[in-house]
Structure 1
Amino acid sequence: MNTEGNKKDINVEAKTINEIQSESILPSGRYGPLVARIPVIISQSKVHISINTEISLDDSAVDIRNFKRSVHLNQCSLLDMGDKRHGKVYLSGYIDESIEYTAFQSIDDKSSTKLCFKTVKIPFDFAAKIEYCTRPSLLISNKFISVSLSSSLNQSSTKECLLCQLDEADIYEADIIKKSMFSKDSNTFDTITEYLVLYITFTILQWQQVSIPRGLPYNSP
């Protein structure tokens, strides 16, 4: 794709940001013993999911330029199995994927390439046994409890007040297969099959009342 004739010089404004010195401030607060209502970590877990998906492109592609992917969760539930150490979590979500690719175009009987984009949502879901680092309270055994996916730690109106946070998500490409389902041109492709491995680290939290014992002042030797 010839873009030399479209290049223009653009002037932008820029400024240097000076680094300044910060002053440490010791936090102040009440010392124990006291009772506080705080988000307590119930479990931290890491899972890996194998995903394969077939994606049809809107134009016959010549080459894949770039992939941009982000991971989102849309549902979480916790099943307490009556075991003091373990529970079962159900999670579902999707990979938001943007594909940047080049395709042939013909203008006035002249062949050139154009830049195209395709955005898809690749769903996934799984159930996994998790280990409690702190046993959740107020759960009913053998019953799924809905878990909030809010990124904030605002207290829920339900007694359980459970939260799920997506801590980290890494996506690895195992393989990408390009093939042509509709075009007869062997130099182009219109369908790609992706084999991905998704690693997710997540934390289950619960608002609980915690007794904080008497302790030393902050930063004491």
Structure 2
Amino acid sequence: MFLILLSVDKKEDNFMNNNDFEDSACCISPEHNICSSVTTSNEPLTEQICVPPAVISAGPVFVKIPVVLAESNITIPVHATITLDQPAIEIKRIRKNVFLTEARLVPFSQDNRPGTGIVFIEGFVRKNIEFATQTCQNGVNICGDIRQCTVQVPFSVTTRVRFFRQPVFTENTTPSEMEFFTDKLKSCDICADNVIGRNPCDQSFFVTEFFNEKPFVELVKADIAELDIHKNPTSTCHNPTEQTFTQITEKLAINLTFKVLQNQQVELTAIAATNPCTA
């Protein structure tokens, strides 16, 4: 009887050891041979002390702040062709971001449209494309990897904006030149009279140069609607539903909302300060 109980205990120990080994093996990394672990701790909350802000005294004050000159919405149609590095069977996801590389305002309109300006905009759409590839095929079954490709689709546009508020510019003055009179100029003839007129030895100039605030552009919103067309796809006769392709033709409609701003001096009225800590 003692031998039977001992045999049962040994089997149970072996069974538990095998289970323990199998459970731990699920967490063992084949590269590092280390089981993963998580350690957490609770951080105490630190109480804050309200500090009243230091402000200027009440009364008129002059500040230089960005003033909105115009806000506009434009749509930019773009046609692009993208070539992938490997044949793809499906586009899984495309992440898009819009960046501007140039945005310049010509504030003067030359076609009798007062209160308007011309904006030149250049930029690109950064696209991160995730697609499925085909590495092996067994009949109608296909296996492969997920790859990614990042490209930049450039665009440029010129548009007219109407100002809510005119930009502030001061033009440079016309240079002024001053000449001095003299009657001391003599010729080579010692018997001739002195030459009367402008003194070529002295000149005086005056010029005034103004440094204006340059208008700038800020992006408010960007919407992108696109149509992707797979170019020259290939498929097999026994599985016509699966196609591979390397080129994508895109039709994009980029809708941008932007502001035109300029730093201008503005007069404000400061009110009496209140203590927000006692509110």
Query: What TM-score does the superposition give when structure 1 sets the normalisation length?
Result: 0.71
The letter of the residue matching 1:165 is: E
Task: Report Cα offsets for 1:33-53 as digits up to 9, x if no partner.
Answer: 222211111112121112221
Task: Report Cα offsets for 1:162-192 as digits up to 9, x if no partner.
Answer: 221112112122x2111227x6767211111
Q: Does 1:164 align with 2:191?
A: no
Alpha carbons of structure 1 residues 161 and 16: separation in structure 2 relative to 1, 3 Å: farther
Q: Is the 8 A contact 2:224 2:255 kept in 1?
A: yes
Task: Report Cα offsets for 1:33-76 as digits up to 9, x if no partner.
Answer: 22221111111212111222111111111110100110000001
What is the 5 A alignment of 1:12-161?
12=38, 28-82=55-109, 84-106=114-136, 112-138=143-169, 159-161=212-214
Alpha carbons of structure 1 residues 31 and 39: separation in structure 2 relative to 1, 3 Å: farther
Alpha carbons of structure 1 residues 23 and 128: separation in structure 2 relative to 1, 3 Å: farther
Distance 2:151 2:28 in 1: 31
Task: Report Cα offsets for 1:105-148 as digits up to 9, x if no partner.
Answer: 259xxx731111111100111111111111111177xxxxxxxx
Report sequence identity in percent.
25
Q: Is the 8 A contact 1:160 1:207 kept in 2?
A: yes
Of the three residues 229, 232, 238, the one matched with 1:180 is 232
Query: What TM-score does the superposition give when structure 2 sets the normalisation length?
Result: 0.58
Q: Does 1:210 align with 2:237?
A: no
Stretch of structure 1 that moved more, 88-97 or 41-50:
41-50
How many residues align? The count is 193
Distance 1:113 1:139 in 2: 65
Alpha carbons of structure 1 residues 39 and 63: separation in structure 2 relative to 1, 3 Å: same
Q: Is the 8 A contact 2:117 2:162 kept in 1?
A: yes
Distance 1:117 1:218 in 2: 56
| Aligned match of 1:147 | none
Q: CA deviation at 1:14?
A: 6.3
Alpha carbons of structure 1 residues 139 and 195: separation in structure 2 relative to 1, 3 Å: farther
Alpha carbons of structure 1 residues 58 and 201: separation in structure 2 relative to 1, 3 Å: same
Tell me, which stretches of 5 or more residues in structure 1 are unaligned? Answer: 141-157
Structure 1 runs, 4 residues or longer, greater than 6 Å off: 5-9, 14-18, 20-27
Q: Is the 8 A contact 1:139 1:160 kept in 2?
A: no
Task: Report Cα offsets for 1:8-45 as digits up to 9, x if no partner.
Answer: 79655667898x99979678334442222111111121
User: Higher relative CO (CA 8 A, sep ≥ 6), structure 1 or 2?
Assistant: 1
The letter of the residue matching 1:121 is: Q
C-alpha root-mean-square deviation of aligned residues, in Å?
3.4
